[in-house]
Amino acid sequence: MGLSTVTATRWVERWEQQQQRYAFDREERFTVVADVIEHVTAHSARPLVVDLGCGPGSLAVRLSGRMPHARIVAVDMDPVLLELGRAHARASVPAAAVRYVEAVIGAEGWASRLGLDGPLDAAVSTTAMHYLPCDMLRRVYGELAGMVRPGGVLVNADHLLPEEAADIAVHVGRRRAGRQHAFSYEDWESWWAAAERDPELTDLFAERRRRTERGSGGNNGLTLNRHAAMLRDAGFRQVGPVWQVGNSCVLVAVR
Ligand SMILES: C[S@@+](CC[C@H](N)C(=O)[O-])C[C@H]1O[C@@H](n2cnc3c(N)ncnc32)[C@H](O)[C@@H]1O
């Protein structure tokens, strides 16, 4: 039996809360990402966008709400989060708007698993690219530069530290999150532990445990300038942050 929409929605709503602890001013950051995509795709009738490390589709669903004409391919390596995303999206977005794909970004042949039928207008990502080890991320940026059309963008919203005064940036971000009551929500470990106890998710967690390739699970710690340099090296023409609260940042790279 498939996962019910009610259960999926409950877990996605809890996900949305716990993620606020880590992605400071998360909702505004999503809105800014959508502002960028809307601007860049203003002349595309059916923009094609990939959401990298989509989790349960937090950004994909919001983008689809803002841009119902967009085709969004949401990719992640986690079968639990993907299935929550699929089941939740059934309740919130038209079926054709978001397609969920399982792949380990950076692994051999990951891009061909996306099943793209043309160049991307945009590649977007929220709170995910920090998982990729530096060498892998460099390779992925290079591959994405070959997949995004000229004039299209890569938008990376993540915790990206400034080169200097980084501890102050983190403090400012945390204070903002605190004012938004982000720390009143459960944390990452608590969300995963509680989800694993849900009988409706038992099979999905078993599937998750069977996966051997789990990515790095770490934090590459790359600064904003390092990301920008890697994106320029990859072939993006204009690269710069368009929004930042503390270390929570939206970095845009135009192809
Ligand atoms: C902190 S979550 C963020 C999810 C979502 N973008 C959001 O903003 O809520 C990071 C996501 O990146 C995914 N991820 C990390 N490394 C990955 C990789 N190499 N390939 C695919 N997904 C990856 C994880 O499975 C997880 O769903």
- Mean pLDDT, 10 residues at a time, the chain of 255 residues: 89 98 96 98 96 97 95 97 94 81 97 97 98 97 98 97 94 96 97 97 94 68 96 97 96 98
> Ligand 1 test: best mutation among 19, 63, 75, 76, most atoms within 8 Å of CB?
76
Q: From atom 27 of ligand 1, which residue's Cα is the shortest distance away?
A: 55
Interacting residues of 35 by C-beta distance below 8 A, sequence separation 6+: none
Please give the model's pTM, rounded to 2 decimal places. Answer: 0.96
Q: How far apart are CA 88 and CA 57, in angstroms?
A: 9
**CB of residue 55 inside a 6 A radius of ligand 1:** yes
- Predicted local distance difference test score (pLDDT) of residue 212: 64
Other Cβ atoms within 10 Å of 188 Cβ, number = 12
The closest alpha carbon to 173, from 85, 239, 245, 234, belongs to 245
**CB of residue 215 inside a 6 A radius of ligand 1:** yes
